[in-house]
Amino acid sequence: MTTTLLPALVPAQQFLMAQEQQFQAVLSDDRINFARETQFALQCLQANNFTLTTAMKNQESFRNAILNVASMGVSLNPAAKEAYLVPRGGAICLDISYQGLQSIAQQSGAVLWSKAKLVYANDNYVNTGIDSAPEHTYSAFGKRGDMVGAYCVAKLADGSFMTEEMSADEINRIKGRSQSAKGQSSPWATDFGEMAKKTVIKRAAKSWPRSTRLDAAIDMLNRQGEGIDFSRERAPVREKAINPATDEQVKAIREGLEFISRPEDAFLKYFSGSIAKRVIESIEELTEEEAIKAISTIQSIADKVAEQHANKEVF
């Protein structure tokens, strides 16, 4: 059965079909299908005439938004709630939701899973320390009071947890410098809780293992006016190690990785994002101080594997 488009949508469909080759060239996730995403885009345009008008007036921004769907690996499927086409400042922007950021983080391997939640005045919230998930209990159907903050907890590949917390004041300061907060129809006005969750996820991602896709998605959102300069808040990458790891340390690390049956590249990806906070492509690039931490990390993993009597991969 064929679907007859409204005449006003035909130029948009033709424009979208012309983008298939570029779409496939930058596709980062096989879950994303061009034909389906085209239909989702047309549904979005059909539902909002202003979005359609903006897309056809600024076709370059429309093209970029569609190509970003492919390169970021998020879907316009309204049921998935990962991303939306939004008219803003005379252009079409790809607005990635907090669910979309979580999906990118998981699909790209930055984390096993992550969860963002709001905390209210009548909730019981306890930070249980580094490397463990917080305790958060509340009455789901009672009066929880005013929102006092938000947090994001993520489980990493090694089984550890990382938690980021933001107070309501911190979130409101982000909102205050966000271009997307202007106007009564802004997402900050209509969906404050969703934006608060997105904000704490973006802050949390600074400490997660590096993911090119996640970094690119957050950078795109910031350039579209969401307010957090993600790249600045990352720890700077050092170009040259002042005190390089010794030959003995390099040997000890390689022997340790062989003992726990972990590939060097996977360990360095984990170590770069979780501990060193800089990109390290080979063991020889480690500093002496980082090598000490690497050896300690490997020893901890070896102890954990021995305790659990299992060969579960943690990187």
- Which of 37, 68, 96 is the last residue before a domain boundary? 96
Query: Between these two residues, 302 and 30, which has the higher pLDDT value?
Result: 30
Together in a domain, 146 and 217: yes
Tell me 238's DSSP state: P
Together in a domain, 20 and 76: yes
Q: Closest Cα partner for 166 from 123, 122, 203, 209?
A: 203
Together in a domain, 61 and 166: no
Give the mean pLDDT of the chain: 85
Total number of domains constituting the chain: 3
For 201-222, how does the pLDDT look when each residue is reduced to its tens digit (9 = 90+)?
999 998 898 888 888 888 888 8
Q: For residue 310, what pLDDT is reported?
A: 46
Residue 136 reports pLDDT greater than 60: yes
Contact between 256 and 292 under an 8 Å Cβ cutoff? The reply is no
For 215-242, how does the pLDDT look when each residue is reduced to its tens digit (9 = 90+)?
888 888 887 766 554 444 444 333 343 5
Cα–Cα distance for residue pair 148/60, rounded to 1 Å: 41
For 284-310, how does the pLDDT look when each residue is reduced to its tens digit (9 = 90+)?
988 888 888 888 878 867 765 565 544
Host domain of residue 23: 7-96
Q: For residue 232, what pLDDT is reported?
A: 44
Q: For residue 225, what pLDDT is reported?
A: 67
Structure pTM?
0.66
User: Does residue 241 belong to any structural domain of this protein?
Assistant: no
CA angle, residues 149, 159, 140, in degrees to nearest 5: 35
Together in a domain, 142 and 156: yes
For 42-76, how does the pLDDT look when each residue is reduced to its tens digit (9 = 90+)?
999 999 999 999 999 999 999 999 999 998 899 99
- Which of 233, 256, 274 is the last residue before a domain boundary? 233
pLDDT band at 3, cuts 50/70/90? low
